[in-house]
């Protein structure tokens, strides 16, 4: 079954389940659970662009559509309120939801925040403080940009004994090859600093070959530019905005030394508190990577909550430093969104897995 056909079947199925009331039933059943939604960049795809990232960002119009639909049935609360509920320090709120943004892109504020203000939805914005200070792009955006330029010439990339060919004719092909490159690098460079350095070296080589770099156009770039210290200070005054830590260098904690983890947790927390004048109590594990040791480090570092990329919802008694989240895919229709938010999708997937298990 092709992707488009599967998408049509899935949308029709969830539309039917919504029509007969199963979404409403699942929402009532899961009303005491907290849904934490995960986003990254938010931009506008209208008009002409010098480049568009391979990693998709939400179009601001689609974000408003999704949040408007969610606001009909869910009450968005702050990450602090959600943490208090999980710890048993505040009463549960029916159909509570939290909105999170990772990385600290400027477009979270220029594009997404006006939508949040319109709908009165609070958000927590996790920022990597090193990029704020150095004004350099994230390595994944830097490599994305130069790979697209190099693909126009049929670029080949050699890394750890393997060659990857990038074909300009198909963005899907570039995306798949980029994913394979990252996976190969992770297998060969388990330490996160070595991993980032290896891909940084690839980017440097391609920048020299093509004569272009994301760093040269970063300030003002609508996709990859991150907030500045002045931005953080200004937006921290907004009652809908909470800033959280995301390390200094987007360090994957489960792939790093104890010394690096402790230093980055402390320095990023210290910087955010200096810029905002408020305690920084919330954290997001870069790339969603975490283990027991990194959870312990986050707690001892003074953070009261931390979000992962694990899929699910939370409730009273959940560990606030292992918070599961629900992605909001850019291509989601409203009925798919309702199925995910209500917990119906979770139930359907669980049922299908049990039926598949019985057949085998």
pLDDT tens sequence across 69-101:
999 999 999 999 999 999 999 999 999 999 999
Quick check: 171 pLDDT over 90? Answer: no
pLDDT tens sequence across 260-279:
999 999 999 999 999 999 99
Other Cβ atoms less than 10 A from the Cβ of 169: the count is 9
pTM of structure: 0.94
In percent, how much of the chain has pLDDT > 70? 98
347 Cβ contact partners less than 8 Å away, ≥ 6 residues apart: 26
Nearest to 206 by CA among 252, 278, 148, 259: 148
22 Cβ contact partners less than 8 Å away, ≥ 6 residues apart: 344
As beta bridge partners, residue 158 has 163
**What tokens does 356 get?**
């598949």
Mean pLDDT, the chain, whole residue set: 93
Quick check: 167 pLDDT over 90? Answer: no
Instruction: State the pLDDT confidence band at 309, using cuts at 50, 70 and 90.
Output: very high
| Rg of the chain in Å (alpha carbons) | 21
CA distances from 238 to 36, 110, 113, 117, 168 (A): 21, 13, 10, 9, 43
Please give the full DSSP string across 106-155, using - where no structure is assigned. Answer: THIIIIIHHHHHHHT--EEEEE-HHHHHH----HHHHHHHHHHHHHTTT-
Query: What pLDDT is attached to residue 140?
Result: 94
- Every domain of the chain with CATH number 3.20.20.370 lies at 3-134+228-359
pLDDT tens sequence across 33-76:
999 999 999 999 988 888 999 988 999 999 999 999 999 999 99
Query: Average pLDDT in the 170-185 region?
Result: 90
As beta bridge partners, residue 14 has none
Nearest to 243 by CA among 194, 183, 305, 201: 305
Backbone phi and psi for residue 111, each to the nearest 5 degrees, phi listed first? -105, -50
Asked whether 45 and 63 are in contact (CB, 8 A), the reply is no
Q: Return the residue matching tokens 């029916």.
A: 94
Nearest to 36 by CA among 295, 233, 282: 282
Q: What's the CATH number for 3-134+228-359? A: 3.20.20.370
Per-residue buried b or exposed e for 326-347, using 16+ beta carbons within 10 Å of the residue's own CB: bebebebbbbbbbbbbbbbbbb
């Amino acid at each position: 079954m092709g992707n488009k056909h599967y998408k049509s079947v899935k949308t029709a199925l969830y539309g039917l389940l919504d029509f007969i009331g199963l979404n409403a039933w699942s929402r009532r059943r899961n009303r005491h659970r907290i849904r934490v939604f995960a986003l990254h960049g938010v931009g506008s795809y209208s008009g002409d662009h010098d480049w568009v990232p391979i990693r998709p960002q939400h179009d601001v119009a689609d974000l408003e559509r999704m949040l408007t639909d969610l606001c009909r049935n869910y009450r968005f609360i702050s990450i602090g309120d959600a943490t208090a509920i999980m710890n048993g320090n505040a009463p549960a709120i029916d159909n509570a939801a939290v909105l999170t943004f990772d990385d600290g892109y400027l477009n979270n504020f220029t594009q997404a925040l006006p939508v949040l203000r319109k709908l009165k939805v609070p958000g927590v914005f996790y920022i990597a403080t090193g990029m704020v200070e150095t004004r350099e792009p994230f390595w994944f955006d830097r490599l994305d940009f130069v790979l697209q330029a190099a693909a126009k010439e049929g670029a080949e990339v050699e890394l750890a004994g393997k060659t990857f060919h990038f074909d300009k004719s198909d963005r899907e092909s570039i995306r798949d090859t980029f994913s394979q490159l990252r996976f190969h690098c992770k297998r060969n460079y388990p330490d996160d600093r070595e991993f980032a350095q290896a891909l940084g070296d690839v980017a440097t080589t391609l920048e020299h070959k093509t004569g272009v770099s994301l760093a040269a156009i970063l300030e003002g770039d609508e996709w990859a530019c991150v907030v500045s210290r002045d931005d953080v200070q200004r937006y921290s005054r907004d009652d809908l905005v909470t800033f959280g830590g995301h390390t200094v260098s987007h360090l994957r904690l489960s792939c790093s030394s104890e010394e690096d983890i402790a230093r980055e947790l402390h320095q990023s927390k210290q910087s955010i508190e200096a810029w905002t004048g408020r305690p920084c109590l919330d954290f997001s594990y870069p790339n969603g990577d975490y283990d027991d040791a990194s959870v312990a480090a986050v707690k001892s570092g003074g953070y009261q909550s931390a979000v992962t990329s694990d899929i699910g919802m939370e409730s009273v008694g959940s560990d606030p430093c292992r918070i599961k989240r629900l992605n909001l895919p850019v291509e989601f229709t409203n009925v798919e969104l309702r199925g995910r938010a209500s917990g119906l999708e979770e139930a359907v997937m669980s049922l299908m897995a049990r039926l598949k298990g019985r057949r085998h």
